[in-house]
Structure 1
């Protein structure tokens, strides 16, 4: 499989190493100094593009891939207000697009655990709930995309929480998400339900970027030859 890597920071380099080790060919590496390569003549040679850049550039990058009729796996977070536009463009052009706030297989299983626990806690109003996420200092968005996915899942069941706030909050209807930026943490997400009697806590801790990178390559392998909009739930059949 021929891969175009759009975004060649630490995550891009980790994806490059894993994809190459699996026998794939990375034919294009685009970073902030090589944006001129983000054109149809270069992109169209790829079977799939994997995009990990910034919230400010993701939308444009995905459009460029669609123009070249190249399937896109996108792991950039912080731009999802424009996701409906991308989904509409994907459907109109019969392209392939897969987006996830986190490509780690472990995190996607953690999402399912979070939904199940939230459903169980929905009828237990004696428990308050809050969240903490820890990432490295180069993380550009806060809360993390993973934390926001967890929050949306939680609030869909625990309806006494009607909004989230990115700081400590003592309001009964607000979900507090505390973001910490500490090197070299690849990513830790903790959800705690607390009552006067006891606490219930679930945590996912990443030990390196390899889990995210490996999941992105698995997603790219799965997406090749497909048409439509997908998530990691489709890839993992969750």
Structure 2
């Protein structure tokens, strides 16, 4: 399995204990979740530049509706025969599991600093909420993490422990999500509810979304992300030097 918990390093730094509410980033609930659109378009989505369209895999460019909808991208993936088996929206939905009360991370940050200041997000001060969601999709599509730009967490302690590397000053972090459960989202949730809009805005390419879907389903990815910036120290249950 790929990066179930990020094995990429995040930069150290002092982290505010506060976080800001963001309705746009908040995890959709069953009552307010919007089903992925089933409409298709014959041409490119408005707002997609030539570079984004060129990033489409050949089969995705050829597939009807493949430019702008989740269903179109899934259809194109299945036509490409790259996936081990046919993929459906239900496969993505099945991976949008409830956020567990506790998540874990193997971090390349000082344990004392994390305990005092929280987990740094790696997010640029000038980065918009949607740009950060796009970075999460790129992280999910990647085979090597995001180089610290997007710290991820796992509900599986054993999975997180596998990413610890002795002798390089890593920390094992346990986070209490119950203090802000809607601030945490799965990669599947973001793909289901934000991918179409982010592609329309030109923030992520259709090809990257397609790769993220394939990786999520074929490798059974189960990453969890905090989408409200730095994880405040009040959520840290423990941070142990390893």
- Superposition TM-score tier, normalisation by shorter sequence: under 0.3
Larger RCO, structures 1/2 (Cα 8 Å, 6+ apart): 2
